[in-house]
Structure 1
Amino acid sequence: MSDALVYLSALMVGVLGLSRLVLVRHDGVIPAVRHGTTFALTQAAAMVVAAPESIALIGRRGPFPNAPVLIGDLLRLTAAGSLLLLADHVPAAGRTRSGWPRAVAALVRPPLGRLVLPVAVLLFLCARTGELHGAETATGDAHRLLLAGYDLTVMLYTCCCLAVLAAALRRCARELDDGLLRRGVTLLRVSVLVGTAWAAWGTDDVVDVLRGGIQQGGEDPVSAVLGLACVSVAVLGATVSLWSPVTRAVSGWLADYRRYRALGPLWQTLHRQLPQIALRTPSRWRAWLPPLYAHFALYRRIIEIHDAQLVLRTAADGATAGPAPAPGSGPGSADLRLEAETLLRGPALPAAPATRAAVPAPAPARSSGRTPGGAR
């Protein structure tokens, strides 16, 4: 289960990074996008390598025991460094820092920040870890302390980089007006906070190593859930610009489909008496499926109801009922939703009798704008 969550999170981060890769290849791309893309790709690679199944697969061919663990952590540290560079290019991030953000930034920036990778590699190799049923083992008190120091170095550096980015996003959100951009920045900050909890969960590895000298390789279930939550919120924040058109399209489709279904009983009653009003009769199995273009389906249903009303009105006046108007005639540019509400407020038609008797005509609907060939 944890493997599936890790791979799903890696896929989401990778797709987000690849979608930005096209922008990075063009000249003039802003540095924030470049650093964000670097973080997404390296973090996706780190999550794939750190999955338990990947560790079991790569570990058999590694140059030394637990090589996938070291490779995954180095990729994670590289991703954290990209977040540190991203924080420098967030709007309003260049202002003078005070308090803990300035102190934390001083710990992870050069020259101290450049020592993290070599120190982590040195600690891991000196710990001389072994492997036992997919877990890392360290024998002896000195090796345990070295492995615990390695885990603590990776965890603290990642948390510090995330804290610097969270502070920069907080300052940026304060200066933005309320809107989609501010909501996106706020979601990204929430994602960073969840990511900090995700990184801080590595303290359980430190405790396990100090207690028994054994550390479970890869992501545990809690870490996998925190990673998926962090990635999901980050994707929502990074794609906030797509929300408005998507929500408008979905809400418009739902509104048209609701009116299309509401007109169903009236249309079925008229269609049983006048089958020729149907511009197109769908097959039996397609009749149960919602229309892909609800706006066009609603337009066609209103046209067919108007055609039936014309025939019934002519019959009620004592004239001979002629053929139904040509298919495709309908209310020119009338608002479909207003037209549908007008039809729904009209008197309901009774159920069709056994004989083909004339059905009482509903309240006259607007038809002054009907022109041949008005439907498209």
Structure 2
Amino acid sequence: MSDLAAYLGAAILVAWAASMSVLERHGARRPIRRAGLVFALCEGCSLALLAPRTVSALTDAGLPGPAVVAAGDAVRALAISFLMMLACALNPRGCGRRPGCQLAMAVLVQAAMLALFVIARPRLDAEGELMADPPGRWPLALRVAVFAGYAIWALTELFLALLPQARLAGTRALRWGVRLFLVAIVFGMLWSLWSYDDILDVLRHGELNGSEDVLSNVLGAVCASLVVTGALLGRSGATLSATARWLRLYRCYRLLGPLWTALRAAMPYIAFPQASRPRMAGRLRLEFALYRRVIEIHDGRLVLRPYHHPAVASWVAAASDSGPSDALVEAATIAAALENMRRQRRFTDSSEAPAGDPGLVLTDLDSEVLWLSRVAWAFSRSPVIPAVLERLRAEEG
């Protein structure tokens, strides 16, 4: 389980970093993107290097076990350093230090971890545990504390730098991507805090899990998954927005179908000539068809104005359990007007300002689409429409 989680997290991070490097090799790489990709690559390599099976295989190949663990920790500390660089690039004043100072801090942390490891002189037992004699327990515990403190500091700075972007990002997909990054940072903090349990083990028993334990590798895999998912979501925001818009337009197109069909059946002359349809594909073709329906419905509504019955609004109010919406009143007005047109009944006194017709004054085309979608839904599905038509026919009788 520990090996599986470690290798899974490593594969996700390394594959994502490699793919992003290939896709953007011809473009300008900003420091933010560069720091993020190097962090992902280093963290993925450290997860794979510190996996129990990797440590065992390298030890069997003749490499000193403590050296393998020290190398894995050095790569992970390097990843944390690039994480701090990323936080400074996102919010230069948040860290309180310039990039040069952060570089010096990264070198100091690496040197301190190496010196404490040499002073502790641990050995690796058959189960992959680092063992330290009583004189080396304090240096080894201090080494763990230095790395955990540095990691928590970097994660805190990155969290504070990203937090405003969760509300200010330009698109919904980008905002959700930032939120996933924030969740990943929280898991990263838990991962780092779990290291303090190792400090107690070192001080009490002189034992330190040289290769990561199950919980640490699971937390690492979760962090990797959240980071890559957030990055992909942020990058694909435009694609997701376009897809969501296409689905919304298609839903409106389907909703307008019954109303559009009824109006064209009663007034075939409102239809555009087929020869005027341009050759388009994909979303543009759907938008053209949808807006064409909107215009034809709009023309049909204008033709029906002399046939509007002045009492429709009151009939709808009487037939509705709650207060009728403007869309329902408009749908009932159109349905009654179509019936009056079939019977050649005009109401010229209502042609100037028909009741329940706010859609005629909308100037934004998308707003018109949404308004007519609500009208079309009520026209085809509301039980009030048959009640209004039944009352209209009863009035004639």
Partner of 1:37: 37
More helix by percentage: 2
What is the CA–CA distance in structure 1 between the aligned matches of 2:175 and 2:198, rounded to whole Å? 36
Which one of the candidate residues 223, 229, 233 is aligned to 2:222? 229
TM-score by length of 1: 0.60
1:1-376 aligned at under 5 Å gives the runs 1-61=1-61, 63-90=63-90, 93-94=91-92, 96-97=93-94, 102=96, 109-177=102-170, 179-240=172-233, 241-242=235-236, 245=239, 248=243
Alpha-carbon distance change, 172 to 224 in structure 1, aligned in 2, over 3 angstroms: same
Identity of aligned residues (%): 31
Alpha-carbon distance change, 220 to 120 in structure 1, aligned in 2, over 3 angstroms: same
TM-score by length of 2: 0.57
What is the CA–CA distance in structure 1 between the aligned matches of 2:215 and 2:58, rounded to whole Å? 23
Query: Any idea what SS the aligned residue of 1:25 has?
Result: coil
Instruction: Give the deviation of 1:110 after TM superposition.
Output: 4.9
Please give the per-residue CA displacement for 1:35-76, whole angstroms capped at 9, x wherever unaligned: 111111111110000000001011234553421111110000
Query: Any idea what SS the aligned residue of 2:163 has?
Result: helix
Does the CA-based 8 Å contact 1:136-1:215 persist in structure 2?
A: yes
Does the CA-based 8 Å contact 2:78-2:106 persist in structure 1?
A: no
Alpha-carbon distance change, 62 to 102 in structure 1, aligned in 2, over 3 angstroms: farther
Does the CA-based 8 Å contact 1:20-1:33 persist in structure 2?
A: no
Does the CA-based 8 Å contact 1:14-1:44 persist in structure 2?
A: yes
Code of the residue aligned with 1:238 in structure 2: it is A
Instruction: Give the deviation of 1:209 after TM superposition.
Output: 0.8
Alpha-carbon distance change, 43 to 175 in structure 1, aligned in 2, over 3 angstroms: same
Count matched residues.
249
Give 5+ residue unaligned stretches, structure 2. 252-380, 382-397
What is the CA–CA distance in structure 2 between the aligned matches of 1:67 and 1:133, rounded to whole Å? 15
Please give the per-residue CA displacement for 1:274-325, whole angstroms capped at 9, x wherever unaligned: xxxxxxxxxxxxxxxxxxxxxxxxxxxxxxxxxxxxxxxxxxxxxxxxxxxx
What is the CA–CA distance in structure 1 between the aligned matches of 2:29 and 2:240, rounded to whole Å? 26
Does the CA-based 8 Å contact 2:55-2:128 persist in structure 1?
A: no
Query: Any idea what SS the aligned residue of 1:239 has?
Result: helix
Does the CA-based 8 Å contact 1:46-1:76 persist in structure 2?
A: yes
Instruction: Give the deviation of 1:89 after TM superposition.
Output: 2.3
What is the CA–CA distance in structure 2 between the aligned matches of 1:28 and 1:19, rounded to whole Å? 16
What is the CA–CA distance in structure 2 between the aligned matches of 1:182 and 1:63, rounded to whole Å? 46
Please give the per-residue CA displacement for 1:16-38, whole angstroms capped at 9, x wherever unaligned: 10111124533522111111111
Does the CA-based 8 Å contact 1:59-1:67 persist in structure 2?
A: no
The worse-fitting range, judged by mean Cα deviation, of 221-230 and 5-14 is 221-230
Alpha-carbon distance change, 111 to 45 in structure 1, aligned in 2, over 3 angstroms: closer
What is the CA–CA distance in structure 1 between the aligned matches of 2:73 and 2:130, rounded to whole Å? 17
